[in-house]
Amino acid sequence: MHKRLVPRWRSVLLCLLCGMSGIATAAPLQAQWSFRLLPGDAQLQAHAGMDAWRPAQVPGSVHTDLMAAGVIGDPYVGAAEAGLQWIGLGDWEYRAHFDVDAATLAKRHAELRFEGLDTFAEVSLNGAPLLKADNAHRTWRVRVDGRLRATGNELRIVFRSPIRTLLPQVQAMPHKIAGNYPSPYGDEPKDAMVGNFVRKPAYHFGWDWGPRYVTAGVWRGVQLESWNDHRITDLVVRTDALDAQRADLSVLLQLEQGEVAGKARVVVDVLDPDGKRVTRLERDATLQPGSNTLQLPVSIAQPRRWWPVGYGAQDRYTVQARVDGGSNAEHRASLRTGLRTVELQREEDKDGGQGFAFVINGVPVFAKGANVIPFDAFPARVTPERLRRDLQAARDANMNMLRNWGGGYYEDDAFFDIADELGLLVWQDFMFGGGMQPGYDPAFRSNVVAEARDNIRRLRHHPSIVLWCGNNEEETAWKDWGHGKDLSAADPVFAAKVWQGYVDLFGKDLRAVVAEESLGVPYWSSSPSNDLDAKANDSTRGDKHYWQVWGNPALPVTAYLSETPRFMSEYGLQAWPQLSTVDAFATKQEQQIDGPVIQAHQKFMAGKGNERLLHYIGMEYGAPRTFADFVYLSQVMQAEGIELAALHHRASRPYTMGSLYWQLNDVWPGASWSSVDYFGNWKALNFHARRFFADVAVAALRAAGETRVSLLNDGRSPLAAQLRYRVMDFDGRVLQQQQQAVTLAPLAATEIMRLSDAALLKGADPRRTLAVFELLGDDKLLAQRIVYFAAAKEQLLAADQVQAELRAEGDHYRLRLNSRSLARALWIDFDNAKADVEDNAFDLLPGQPHDVVVRSRADLSTLRAALRLQTLGDALHSHPAPSQDNASVQRIP
C-alpha cells in the first residue's frame, strides 16, 4: 500500500492554491490622468508653478511624472538625490477624467478597486468624498453604484506627505522607538524618523543600497468592476492530501450575491498541465444576499506535482469556474497553480539545537539562493520582462530559493508566476524592514492585518511561496542591537508596551492571518529568529543573519568557515557593477573612489562604504591602482568570498539546510551586495554562483593549514564518479596527482578527505603552487575547485599570459582561451560591443584551453576589436602607470 499524506497542521503543512482572473466585468479604468503640487503647498515658495496641471502616468509616481514632464532630471544620474527631497515634503494631487459605457452603467452594482495608493490618499469622485487610504500595501475597494456618469467623470486623489503627516506625532513622543536610516538631507529630523509608523515601502526612506526618494502616486492599477446579481470574489483550491498516487482537493468558490437571494449553476473544470480536462464539477446553488462559499471536492489520480528546480518538473494545473444564473450572462474565474506540500522541519537534536529545513513533497531541499530587494525605486517602472531577466539569472545560477525581503513591497503577480514557472521557492517577508513598529497601537495592527489578508489571498495560489515571515531583523534589533536595552533604560514602562505590541503583531496577529488564509504555508515571526524564542540570531536554532564579515567587526572572509548555522538567510560582500553601468550615472572624470558622484551611489556607511571595500580588497589582493581595477577587484573579492561561505554551508548539510546570500538584484545603478546589477549584467558572483550552487560540486575548503574536501550532491540518486586532485605550479608542472572512485550519496554532503598543507605542498613554494580537485564522470568534468596556499597579493602571478581566439560558429561565436601560466580570476569583456558570454570570472589553468560561447549581434571584426581580458596578474603585477588620457582616474596610494 502507498502511504497517503494527511493534514498534520503542526508538522506537514499542506499548500493552499488559489488565484483569479476574469472576475465579473472588471477592467482597467480608461482615463486621462494629470497631476500637480497641491495649491497652497509650502513647497511652492521654492518651486513656483508646480501647481499647474501636467500629464501623469498611472500606474506611476510623482517622481517619474516630474521626470517625464522635464521638471527634474533622471534621479539616478549624478548626485541628484539631495536636490529632490522637496518632492517627499509636498502634498500632490492627481485627477482622472473618464467616461463610462452604457453596458457598465446598466449594471446594478459598480466598484472602483485601487490596487496601490501611495500612501495617505484622499479620494473623491465627481466632487464627493469617496475614500481615505493610509496603506500603500493594501487594495482599496469602494462602491460607486449610482455615482457614475456616462461622460465627464472626475476622480481626484490628494496624496499627503507622509513626513509632514506623521512628524508632529513622532516628535511629540517623549521617547522614540527605533527607526532605520536617518535622512542626511534635512527633510526629516534624524531623531524623529516616520518610516516605521507608515505602511509604505520602507526603502523609499533610503537604505544602505539605494536612494531616499519618498514617493507618492497611484503606483498600481485602478479597476472598474460592474455586475448585476452576483460575482465571483475568490477562487481557492485547497490541497487536503497529496502524494504520487492521488491528490484530494477542495475547490472553494466565494460568491457575492446582491440584495435578493437567487439560484445559480456552478461549473468547475480542472485541466492538467497539458490543457486536457481531467474532471468537471457541477452544482446548483441557492445564494443568500452577501457572501457565499461553496466547497466542491475533487480527486486526481497520479497527479503531476510541482517541484522546485532540480527536483522534478514545474507542472501546473488550471482550474476554471463558471457561474450562470439570474440576469448575469455568465461570470468566470480561473487560476493556474501547482500541487505540492511544504513542511518547515524543526527537529530537535541531541545537543539542544533545532533544525530549520524546507521539505517539499516529502523531500528535504537544501535552499540555495539569494535575497531579493525591490527592482526599482519607482516600482511602477518594473516590467515583467525585467522580473524575468533577474529571476532567470537566479535559476541560471542554480538557485532554487529567493527571499523577498521585508523592506520593499509585495511583488506583482508576474514575479510569482515566473517563480512558479522556473521552480524557484519563495520565502516571503511581510513588509517590515527594520527598526521597531508601533504594534502597541490597535489601529496600526488592524491596518497590518488587513494588508496581510489582502496579499495572502492575492498570492496564495502560487506553489513557489513556501514561507510567510513576519519581518526582517526587528527581533534581533530589539534584543541584540541595543534598541530594547536603550528604551528600557529610558522608559521601562513604555519599553514593555512596545515589546508587547511586537509580540501581539508578529507573534499573534500575523500568525493567525497566515493560519486562516494560507491554509498550510508555514509562518515564521522574524528573520533572523527562532520564532520568538529567547535568542533571536542563533547559529544552533532557527535562521541566521551573519554580518561579522563585511559589517562590524569586519572579520576576514575566512571567518565564514567558523560560522555554521542551521539556515543562513543573510550574509554578503559588496562589489561595484561593471564600468558600463557606472558610465550610466558618472562621467569618466567623476569616476574617482572618493568623488562625490561615486560616493552618492555608495550608500553603505553614508557613502564611506568604499573604505570598507578597500579594507577587504587590501586583505587578500592589495591596493588597486586605478578606478577600473578597483571595480574589477571588488567583484573578484565578492565572488571568491561568497563562494567560500556558500560551499561551507553546503558542506555542512544536513546540519545547515540553506544558504541565501545578500543580494540578487539592484534597485538602481550603484555599489551593492548584488550579483546582478540594475541593468541585468552579471557580476563575477553570479558566474561563481552557477558553479558553487551546482547540484554536483566539490567543496575543498582550506583553513588553518588544512584542506577539507566534501562532495556535494543535491540530486535524488547516488552518483558514481572519479575524484582526482593534482598539485601543480603556476606554469602547469604537476607535482603530485591522485585519483579514486567515489560515490556521492543523494541529497547529501560527504566529507571524503582532509589534507594538510605539508602533505599537499611537500616543500613547494606556496606562492606559486595550487591544488585542483575535480570530479570526473564519463570522461567529463563534473565539478572543479582550486585551492591556493597564499594570499593573491603574495602570489607570483604573471600578467598578459592569456591567448584568445574568437571565431564564428553557427548562430554564435566561440572564444578559445589558453594560457602559458595560471590566469587567475579571468574576466572577459567586450567593452561597448553588446555580447553575452556563457562563462566568465574563472581561473584558467596553464596549458588547459577553455572554450566560451559568445552571443552577439555584432560582427566578428567588431567583437575582436572590442575584446578585453583582465586577470589578477594584470591588476596586481606589472601594471602600467595610467596614461595621460587616464589622468582623471584616481590612483590609490
Per residue in 67-109, pLDDT (tens digit) is 999 999 999 999 999 999 999 999 999 999 999 999 999 999 9
d(CA 739, CA 752): 12
Residue 657 has what pLDDT? 98
Least confident stretch, 64-78, 258-272, 493-507, 732-746: 258-272
Residue 328 has what pLDDT? 55
CA angle 542, 543, 547 (to 5 degrees): 135
- pLDDT mean over 185-196: 94
d(CA 633, CA 614): 9
- pLDDT mean over 54-58: 98
- Whether residue 884 has pLDDT greater than 50: no
For residue 535, what are the CA distances in angstroms to 20, 424, 479, 538?
A: 41, 30, 8, 6
785 grid coordinates: 575547485
Torsion angle of the four alpha carbons 427, 430, 432, 434, in this order, in degrees rounded to the nearest 10: -30
The structural domains of the chain, ordered by start, are 30-220 (2.60.120.260), 226-341 (2.60.40.10), 365-585+657-695 (3.20.20.80), 697-758+768-789 (2.60.40.10), 802-870 (2.60.40.10)
Measured between alpha carbons, how far apart are the two ends of the chain, in Å?
A: 73
778 grid coordinates: 564519463
Residue 716 has what pLDDT? 96
β-strand partners of 202: none
In the structure, what pLDDT confidence band is assigned to residue 324 with cuts at 50, 70 and 90?
confident
Q: How many other C-beta atoms can be found within 10 angstroms of the C-beta atom of residue 718? A: 11
Residue 25 has what pLDDT? 56
The beta-carbon contacts of 140-148 under 8 Å, at least 24 apart in sequence, are 140/113, 140/114, 141/111, 141/112, 141/113, 141/114, 142/111, 142/112, 142/114, 143/109, 143/110, 143/111, 144/110, 144/111, 144/112, 145/108, 145/109, 145/110, 147/110, 148/100, 148/104, 148/105, 148/110
Q: Any idea which residues carry the catalytic annotation?
A: 473
> What are the tens digits of pLDDT across the range 673-730?
999 999 999 999 999 999 999 999 999 999 999 999 999 999 999 999 999 999 999 9
- Whether residue 1 has pLDDT greater than 60: no
DSSP 8-state symbol, 677? -
Residue 329 has what pLDDT? 59
> What are the tens digits of pLDDT across the range 227-243?
998 999 999 899 999 99
- Whether residue 855 has pLDDT greater than 50: yes
Say which residue the cell 513542511 belongs to: 343
Say which residue the cell 602547469 belongs to: 732
Asked if residue 569 lies in contact with residue 527, where contact means CB atoms within 8 angstroms, the answer is yes
d(CA 126, CA 164): 27
Least confident stretch, 145-154, 460-469, 795-804, 874-883: 874-883
- Whether residue 22 has pLDDT greater than 80: no
- Main-chain phi, psi angles of 454, to 5 degrees: -55, -50
Say which residue the cell 527571499 belongs to: 403
DSSP output for 58-104: SS--HHHHHHHTTSS--TTSTT-GGGGTHHHHS-EEEEEEE---HHH
Q: In what order do the strands lie in the sheet with 706-713?
A: 696-703, 706-713, 748-756
What lies within 8 Å, CB to CB, of 487 at 6+ separation is 175, 177, 178, 494, 495, 498
576 grid coordinates: 561595484
Asked if residue 253 lies in contact with residue 234, where contact means CB atoms within 8 angstroms, the answer is yes
> What are the tens digits of pLDDT across the range 416-426?
999 999 999 99
- pLDDT mean over 796-811: 95
Q: 3-class SS at 747?
A: coil
For residue 377, what are the CA distances in angstroms to 75, 155, 312, 598, 667?
A: 10, 26, 36, 18, 6
d(CA 222, CA 426): 27
- pLDDT mean over 796-805: 95
d(CA 683, CA 674): 8
> What are the tens digits of pLDDT across the range 99-136?
999 999 999 999 999 999 999 999 999 999 999 999 99
- Whether residue 273 has pLDDT greater than 50: yes
Average pLDDT over the chain reads 94
The HSE-up count of residue 21 (CA atoms within 13 Å, CB side) is 9
In the structure, what pLDDT confidence band is assigned to residue 449 with cuts at 50, 70 and 90?
very high
692 grid coordinates: 558553487
The HSE-up count of residue 506 (CA atoms within 13 Å, CB side) is 31
Residue 522 has what pLDDT? 98
What percentage of the chain has pLDDT greater than the value 70?
95
d(CA 875, CA 877): 6
d(CA 345, CA 342): 9
d(CA 77, CA 234): 44
> What are the tens digits of pLDDT across the range 629-646?
999 999 999 999 999 999
Going by C-alpha positions, the residue among 598, 573, 596 that lies closest to residue 583 is 598
Give the rounded distance of the alpha carbon of 764 from its chain centre.
Answer: 45
Q: 262 versus 501: which is more confidently predicted?
A: 501
DSSP 8-state symbol, 490? H
Residue 674 has what pLDDT? 98
- pLDDT mean over 264-270: 94
Q: 3-class SS at 640?
A: helix
> What are the tens digits of pLDDT across the range 605-626?
988 999 999 999 999 999 999 9
- Whether residue 9 has pLDDT greater than 50: no
In the structure, what pLDDT confidence band is assigned to residue 881 with cuts at 50, 70 and 90?
very low
Q: How many other C-beta atoms can be found within 10 angstroms of the C-beta atom of residue 169? A: 12
855 grid coordinates: 552571443
What percentage of the chain has pLDDT greater than the value 90?
91
Q: How many other C-beta atoms can be found within 10 angstroms of the C-beta atom of residue 329? A: 8
797 grid coordinates: 602571478
Asked if residue 242 lies in contact with residue 14, where contact means CB atoms within 8 angstroms, the answer is yes
Residue 326 has what pLDDT? 61
- pLDDT mean over 336-363: 95
Bond preceding residue 364 cis, omega within 30 of 0: no
Torsion sign across C-alpha atoms 297, 300, 301, 302: negative
In the structure, what pLDDT confidence band is assigned to residue 351 with cuts at 50, 70 and 90?
confident
